[in-house]
Amino acid sequence: MKKLHTSLVASAMALALAPVANAEVTANIGVTSNYVWRGVSQTDDGAAVQGGIDYAHDSGFYLGTWASNIKWGTDMPSGAEVDFYGGFANEYNEFGYDLGLIYYYYPASDYDDSDFSEIYASGSWKWFEIGLAYTITGDQPNDAPFSRGDLHYYGAFSYDLPQDWSIGATIGRYDFDVSKDYKNVAGNPDYTWGQLDVGKGVGEFGDFTFSISKAQESSGSNDTKFFVSWAKSF
């Protein structure tokens, strides 16, 4: 099961590898001192190497895959996460949208029964974005987190500054569709998280992002993460 601890992801840089008629293929690589996803570390506060490949058509249709190393606890071996996704995204004037489906795949045997999939939607205007993701399938039992019915939603702000600097902020909420019996045994897994990012582009040397992320669990505990990420296009 995906570990409920904190993280936000570093930005991925894309590079056109082969333009096709009305379409392009792009690639990205990155390194982060802590792979944080929705306010929770996926690497037990350790570093991660990440990368992906994307196909995008002028119509707005896209497909892609992205991968990272993971480690969900000190008593677990390292593993891998491989995401497969596709959807439609477009912009009209200053308004944008993104609708899609993503599948989270964990191939290592120690991470059996962890796969799940989501449908997602987001809308943007200028510097602002809102979005949600709804879990439609999961290997976990129906009364546990990361099974059907979980809902994540967020609001974000980003702004480009002079000299290739940028700032961003995200606030999100994860509500898990779990049973009362699960909550009585394991506690309420729902949590709210927030993240602040400061980015700096350094030309051909890539882009750096400095982040602070905090998750506030319904039980009252909280977890704050500081991490640095780097990404580069080729």
Is residue 15 within 8 A of residue 45, CB to CB? The reply is no
pLDDT confidence of residue 11: 38
What is the average per-residue pLDDT within 37-45?
Answer: 96
One DSSP character per residue, the chain reads ----SB--PPPPP-EE---BTTEEEEEEEEEESS-EETTEESSTT--EEEEEEEEEETTSEEEEEEEEEE--STTS--EEEEEEEEEEEEEETTEEEEEEEEEEE--SGGGTT--EEEEEEEEEETTEEEEEEEEEEESS-TTSSSSTT-EEEEEEEEEEEGGGEEEEEEEEEEE----HHHHHHH----EEEEEEEEEEE-GGG-EEEEEEEEEEETTS-EEEEEEEEEEE--
Phi and psi torsions of 81, nearest 5°? -115, 130
Is residue 114 within 8 A of residue 1, CB to CB? The reply is yes
The residues pairing with 101 across neighbouring beta strands, listed in sequence order, are: 86, 119
What is the average per-residue pLDDT within 133-154?
Answer: 92
Whether 25 shows a pLDDT value over 50: the answer reads yes
What is the average per-residue pLDDT within 137-151?
Answer: 89
pLDDT confidence of residue 10: 38
Whether 221 shows a pLDDT value over 70: the answer reads no
Convert the pLDDT of each residue in 51-81 to its tens digit: 999 999 999 999 999 999 999 999 999 999 9
Q: Indicate the pTM of the whole model.
A: 0.89
What is the average per-residue pLDDT within 184-209?
Answer: 94
**Domains of the chain by start residue, with CATH:** 15-232 (2.40.160.40)
pLDDT confidence of residue 3: 53
Convert the pLDDT of each residue in 100-126 to its tens digit: 999 999 999 889 889 999 999 999 999
As a whole number, the mean pLDDT across the chain is 90
Q: How many CB atoms lie within 10 A of CB 183?
A: 15
Whether 8 shows a pLDDT value over 50: the answer reads no
Q: Using CA atoms, how far apart are residues 144 and 192, in angstroms rounded to an integer?
A: 18
pLDDT confidence of residue 18: 43
